């Protein structure tokens, strides 16, 4: 299975949240949104052998909500985070939710925060 399939599976798991879910950075983000991208470090090798490669893959899920009012936007971001927590597959390790910041994307201002998750990949 290609590593891209791991991102796609995470996207599928998040399909039930009330947000647009992307497994790559899209040209246009329509909020609310969850964008699944590689984190740093992206891969941490656990074993290397002639027949099996096992690695921990680290992803950042960027949560994005419209920024119209700080209090409402922060509440919407927190609610989205709770939804994502509930939708994560059991084989994912949950990391931290980074502090929110306001980001300009095109003509829109978004409140965004990165949420770190990890899983294992074997090939």
Q: Give the CATH number, domain containing residue 52.
A: 3.30.70.1700
Assign 41 to helix, strand or coil.
strand
Residue 106 has pLDDT above 80, yes or no: no
- Give residue 84's pLDDT: 97
Q: How many domains does the chain have?
A: 1
- Report whether 88 contacts 24 (CB < 8 A): no
Residue 104 has pLDDT above 70, yes or no: yes
CA distances (Å), origin 88, targets 22, 47, 73: 15, 25, 23
Burial class (CB in 10 A: 0-12, 13-18, 19+), 80: buried
For residue 88, give its domain range. Answer: 3-122
Per-residue pLDDT tens over the stretch 53-90: 889 999 999 999 999 888 899 999 999 999 999 999 99
């Amino acid at each position: 299975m290609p590593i891209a399939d791991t991102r796609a599976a995470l996207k599928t798991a998040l399909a039930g949240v009330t947000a647009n879910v992307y497994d790559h950075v899209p040209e246009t983000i329509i909020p609310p949104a969850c964008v699944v991208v590689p984190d740093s470090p992206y891969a941490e090798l656990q074993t290397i052998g002639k027949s099996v490669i096992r690695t921990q893959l680290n992803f950042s899920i960027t949560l994005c909500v419209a920024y119209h009012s700080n209090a409402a936007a922060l509440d919407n971001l927190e609610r989205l985070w709770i939804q994502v927590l509930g939708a994560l597959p059991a084989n994912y390790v949950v990391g931290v939710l980074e502090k929110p910041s306001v980001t300009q994307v095109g003509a829109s201002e978004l409140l965004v925060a990165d949420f770190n998750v990890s899983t294992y990949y074997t090939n």
